[in-house]
């Protein structure tokens, strides 16, 4: 069962399991009840991933200096989603440089739950390279070098999340794997793992001829993931997008499906956690999305193993 909906962007800047992110006037420690009908009650348990391997694929060409500095500034927001959870994680970096034998799919650095200072993950990136072979780097790192230089990083039963950061498109050769084969390989991985995603921070619309990341976006569309415009002011000026990514890869949900279509104005939500029942007001705390028949918390993220009860009258 999938723990998140990739077609819907996750809200960023949220505090995990902290009701103070919602107007306290709209939360009570007692539950309300839907009146005027026999309510439908949809119950959900907030479940996060147990084991996650995340590989950042970094274009470190000379034009990427500002983007890499931005990533370094915002990486703690992403890592906080892991540090504050019980997820068993591996998070690593590989460059898109396949011309240098010292890189070519070899992880520059990776961390896990035992790393003393995980926020130094980006330290030690190699010098600039104009090689943008992201697809080849991913496949080499995880399918060719996984039992050699990168031994121990990718585990058989983990969730797998790939994150590309580049201001250009993929320029990989057809070897060791071509574009279509790569998508098929990732979709085969989805059959063996709970979750697999391919997210890209790149030019989604071309600022200049040839700069649009068409191939990367095709992989995201085929496999699932987030597609973030690298020139998006939100990415450049805040940690919101990395917050989105942290929630996505750890499996935290803010979206919860409904079994039937609700009558407008009858939705009520309770979150049960540690013996306390929190009630949420739909005007300020969550919204109903009719296109997917689900509710979405605007800021709040339920705690792991919290029970989310959505009550309503159905059409």
Total number of domains constituting the chain = 2
Tell me the two tokens of residue 314: 């159905």
Residues 98 and 230 in one domain: yes
Decide which of 206, 232, 250 is a domain's last residue: 250
Residues 83 and 226 in one domain: yes
Q: Has residue 13 been placed in a domain? A: no
Query: Residue 110 in contact with residue 145, Cβ under 8 Å?
Result: no
Residues 65 and 195 in one domain: yes
Q: Provide the residue range defining the domain that includes 229.
A: 51-250
Q: Has residue 183 been placed in a domain? A: yes
Residues 85 and 115 in one domain: yes
Residues 157 and 297 in one domain: no
Residues 237 and 267 in one domain: no
Residues 99 and 189 in one domain: yes
List the chain pLDDT tens, one digit each, 315 residues. 233 222 222 333 444 444 333 333 343 334 445 667 889 999 999 988 999 999 999 999 999 998 988 888 888 889 888 876 789 999 999 999 999 999 999 999 899 988 888 777 766 677 788 899 999 999 999 999 999 999 999 999 999 999 999 999 999 999 999 999 999 999 999 999 989 999 999 988 765 555 678 999 999 999 999 999 988 888 888 788 898 899 889 988 888 999 999 998 899 999 999 999 999 876 789 999 999 999 989 888 898 889 999 999 998
Which residue is associated with the tokens 């970096």?
Answer: 93
The CATH number given to whatever domain includes residue 243 is 3.40.50.410
Residues 99 and 122 in one domain: yes
Contact residues for 272 (Cβ-Cβ < 8 A; gap 6+): 278, 306, 307, 308, 309
**Residue 17's pLDDT is what?**
47
Decide which of 218, 250, 282 is a domain's last residue: 250
Which residue is associated with the tokens 């998070």?
Answer: 91
Is the pTM higher than 0.85? The answer reads no
Quickly count helices (H) and strands (E) in the chain. Answer: 6, 13
Q: Which helix (H) or strand (E) holds 181?
A: helix 179-192
Torsion, Cα 259 45 256 90, to 10 degrees, reads: -140
Q: Has residue 1 been placed in a domain? A: no
């Amino acid at each position: 069962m999938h723990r998140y909906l990739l077609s819907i962007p996750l809200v960023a800047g949220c505090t995990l399991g902290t009701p103070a992110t919602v107007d306290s006037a709209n939360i009570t420690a007692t539950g309300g009840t839907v009146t005027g009908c026999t309510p439908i009650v949809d119950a959900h348990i907030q479940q996060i991933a147990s084991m996650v391997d995340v590989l950042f694929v970094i274009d470190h060409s000379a034009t990427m200096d500002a983007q890499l500095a931005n990533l370094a500034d915002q990486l703690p927001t992403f890592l906080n989603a892991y540090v504050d959870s019980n997820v068993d994680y591996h998070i690593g970096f590989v460059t898109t440089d396949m011309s240098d034998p010292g890189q070519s799919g070899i992880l520059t650095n990776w961390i896990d739950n035992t790393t003393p200072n995980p926020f130094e993950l980006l330290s030690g990136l190699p010098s600039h390279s104009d090689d943008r072979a992201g697809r080849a780097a991913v496949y080499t790192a995880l399918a060719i070098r996984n039992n050699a230089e990168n031994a121990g990083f990718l585990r058989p039963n983990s969730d797998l999340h790939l994150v590309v950061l580049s201001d250009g498109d993929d320029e990989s050769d057809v070897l060791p794997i071509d574009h279509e084969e790569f998508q098929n390989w990732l979709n085969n991985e989805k059959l063996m793992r709970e979750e697999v995603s391919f997210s890209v921070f790149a030019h989604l619309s071309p600022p200049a001829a040839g700069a649009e990341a068409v191939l990367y976006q095709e992989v995201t569309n085929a496999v699932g993931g987030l597609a973030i415009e690298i020139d998006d002011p939100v990415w450049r000026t805040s940690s919101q997008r990395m917050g989105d990514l942290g929630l996505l890869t750890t499996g935290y949900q803010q979206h919860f499906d409904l079994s039937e279509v609700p009558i407008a104005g009858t939705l009520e939500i309770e979150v049960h956690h540690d013996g306390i029942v929190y009630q949420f007001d739909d005007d300020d705390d969550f919204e109903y999305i009719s296109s997917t028949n689900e509710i979405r918390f605007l800021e709040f993220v339920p705690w792991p193993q919290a029970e989310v009860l959505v009550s309503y009258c159905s059409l």
